[in-house]
Chains A and B, each alone.
Chain A
Amino acid sequence: MATEQSTAVDDRRGWDSLRSWDVVVILAVVATAGLGSLAIDGMSSPRFWRFVIIEAIPIALIAMPMTLVIITGEIDLSVASMLGLTCTVMGQMWFLGVTSLPLLIAMCLLLGAALGAVNATFITVFGLPSLAVTIGTLALYRGLAYVVLGDRAVANYPVDWTRQVISPIPRTTIPWLVLVVAVMAVAFGIVLHATPIGRGLYAIGNNVDASTFSGINVARTKFWLFVLTGVVSALAGVYWTLRFASARADNGTGLELSIVAAVLLGGVSIFGGRGGLIGVLAAVVLLGVLRNGLQLAYVPANTLTIVTGALLILSVVGPNVVAMTRQWLRHRRSAAPPVAGA
């Protein structure tokens, strides 16, 4: 969706521009948490962080592959629907008598891979724009979720499963799943920032033709990226089912926009080619802290909606206005007549 493709070209080195934005978001997290725990009762308690983390896990999970997808200049809006469809399929299989959790998880991940592969086929094999394709599969997968369960809910899972999923690391209040997310984040971070594959993703996002000519298999890379997004969305779906102990067709409706908002707020350019994982994860935490903190302060959820939207707009308008002002100043200085007598 380029109005102004030319402004997306940045002559700074990738790391310079990216690091500064990461720092801004991290500082925002620290400031929010710090000021919040001074001003709002209960925000410094371990329980507060427990709730922030439990709530942020699915968003953090899906935001990671979404970051890679957006860096290549594509987008996947069907993630929340893949999550919802996985929930219903998992619920239905449990209902039909599949009682082995590993088997259920494996089947769900396979399903996610298949759903991602459908997206990937439309986008990379038929060459259709990912925005349109994934709006289509957003409706299709959510529709199939309703076909699977209708308006029923499957909720009678074994208590250990549902307790396990939010149980804390021994002697802390932090859910152990955060370790899984952390391991995945490290893996994603290494792939994105320290391997040829990751550098290739930036190259694709900056210039598809140039990266094709420099030997990157663009179609294959994007294909596996969408499959990966499907698998991780399915994983988030499993978590969602067990965390709420409920599989319903409307699980996670509208989550795709929250995830995209977090990724963009984290400094990833919607045109691709710019951004990093640290900023995105910091943005996920920032949104989680803000939401839970404001709830603790009895601020109505509506205000939070406004804050989320305003942050998102600020995150893109701010840097642009700074850059434009700087350019204008430079322009004026170079156009100014030489100082008299010099």
Chain B
Amino acid sequence: MTSLGTRPDADAATLASRGATARIAQRWFVARELGIVLALSLLVAVTASANSRFLSAQSIKDLLLGFTILAIVAVGQAVVIITRNVDLSVGSILGLSTFATGSLFLAAPSVPIPIAFVVGTLLGAVCGAVNGALISAARVPALVVTLGTLYVFRGIDYTWAKGRQINAADMPDGFLRLGTATVLGVPVLTLCALAVVMVAGFYLRSYRSGRELYAIGSDPAAARLSGIAVGRRVFAAFVTSGTLAGLAGVLYAARFGTLDANAGLGSELNVVAAVVIGGVAIFGGSGSVYGAALGAVLLTTIGAALPALGVNPFWQRAAVGALLLAAIGLDRALAVRVASRLRGRRARGD
């Protein structure tokens, strides 16, 4: 974060002002996530008052189901973006894992459902490990590598599928029921996403290696000099992203039932958009997975709210773009304000 004066005789003052820095930064992050919650509540309130059916039980359930998959992939993407990298291959990993799940059930209809989860998730982890190994061992930019694996993974998916489609009838009932089952009115898939967000959020906040991801994103060179195993952490970030995309692929299969090789096609930029709208800086070092998940919720809610408001659905994509621009503009304005406040404090010798 901001480096303040480090004269030996000013240690106490430095520590005190560093505490202040942390507090301001903390408040800023809270404000950032609160902002999305507010925008979300406003959107829901306006839509619900215009169209009462928007808050019917079925509609809420659809909404909750809708953001699950995007939110899970966005959490993994957030972990990667926090380290100042990007993973463009998530859509292809999701597609590969979805088709693998379908094929597994096609080949062995009696396979236990947990095994399907393990297989899909592991496949995602392997894809993520390929990305991570290329990026941290061969030291090549993540944007290029994952753009390449976006094509490679999708190509493997197509080659494997050969245009076939797997129908819901080929899947075990128990698995498909998982896609729509609810506990106390909340879909199981949503609980799944919630668990992923909580675990990732807790890890990033409270574990040393989690904090190190932020350090890497703030300044990779400084992180390396201070003894952080940058390569290993970045590798782990990509494995996480791949694993979560794999998990999302299995959930996609459970939710939609009818699958072909196109699952998740072109979704990578949507995922990045959700993460950035959620307040994760595209150049790393700040933001949280809670924000990323909220960004995913906001994006899906807009998708559901516009038709309910009677807006031409063709406006939806334009609205997403405008929202993304507004989000990064807002972040920039907030960052400038925080920076000038910090400067003000330092000048006063606070």
Secondary structure at the A interface, as helix, strand, loop or mixed, is: helix
- Known contacts A3-B139, A254-B266, A306 near B145 by CB under 8 Å: no
Q: Which of A146, A254, A306, A312 contacts B317 (CB 8 A)?
A: A146
- Known contacts A137-B325, A303-B159, A313-B152, A143 near B316 by CB under 8 Å: yes
In the complex, which range does the number of interface residues on chain B fall in?
35 or more
Residue A172 CB within 8 A of the other chain: no
Complex interface: chain B residues within 8 A of A132 (CB): 276, 282, 324, 328
Q: What 1/0 mask marks residues of chain A from 296 to 339 whose CB sits below 8 Å from any chain B CB?
A: 00001111111111111100110011001000000000000000
Closest chain A CB from B233 CB (angstroms): 11
CA–CA, A327 and B143, complex, Å: 25
Secondary structure at the B interface, as helix, strand, loop or mixed, is: helix
Closest chain A CB from B321 CB (angstroms): 3
Complex interface: chain A residues within 8 A of B88 (CB): 257
Complex interface: chain A residues within 8 A of B145 (CB): 313, 316-317
- Known contacts A2-B220, A309-B152, A302 near B159 by CB under 8 Å: yes
Binds B, one of A16-24, A91-99, A122-130, A180-188: A122-130
Residue A166 CB within 8 A of the other chain: no
CA–CA, A301 and B157, complex, Å: 12
Q: Is the CB of A1 within 8 A of B325?
A: no
Residue B134 CB within 8 A of the other chain: yes
CA–CA, A147 and B315, complex, Å: 6
Q: What 1/0 mask marks residues of chain A from 210 to 251 whose CB sits below 8 Å from any chain B CB?
A: 000000000000000000000000000000000000000100
Q: Is the CB of A3 within 8 A of B314?
A: no
Which single residue of chain B is at the shortest CB-CB distance from A305?
B155
Q: Is the CB of B320 within 8 A of A303?
A: no
Q: Is the CB of A127 within 8 A of B159?
A: no
CA–CA, A70 and B148, complex, Å: 17
Q: Is the CB of B321 within 8 A of A141?
A: yes
CA–CA, A138 and B325, complex, Å: 11
Residue B135 CB within 8 A of the other chain: yes
Q: Is the CB of B147 within 8 A of A312?
A: yes
Residue ranges of A at the interface with B (Cβ–Cβ < 8 Å)? 1-7, 77, 122, 126-129, 131-133, 135-144, 146-147, 150, 249, 253-254, 257, 260-261, 264, 270-271, 300-313, 316-317, 320-321, 324
Q: A139-B318, A143-B318, A257-B150 are in contact. List 19 more A-B contacts (CB 8 A).
A: A2-B220, A3-B135, A3-B141, A132-B276, A133-B328, A135-B273, A139-B324, A140-B318, A140-B324, A147-B318, A257-B88, A270-B143, A300-B162, A302-B158, A302-B159, A313-B140, A313-B144, A316-B138, A317-B145
Residue ranges of B at the interface with A (Cβ–Cβ < 8 Å)? 83-86, 88, 134-136, 138-145, 147-156, 158-159, 162, 220-221, 230, 234, 266, 269, 272-273, 276, 282-283, 312, 314-322, 324-325, 328-329, 332
Show 6 A/B contacts (Cβ-Cβ < 8 Å), sorted by A: A2-B141, A7-B139, A129-B282, A129-B328, A301-B158, A317-B145
Which 9 A/B pairs are nearest by Cβ-Cβ distance? A143-B318, A140-B321, A309-B151, A143-B317, A139-B321, A305-B155, A306-B155, A302-B158, A309-B152
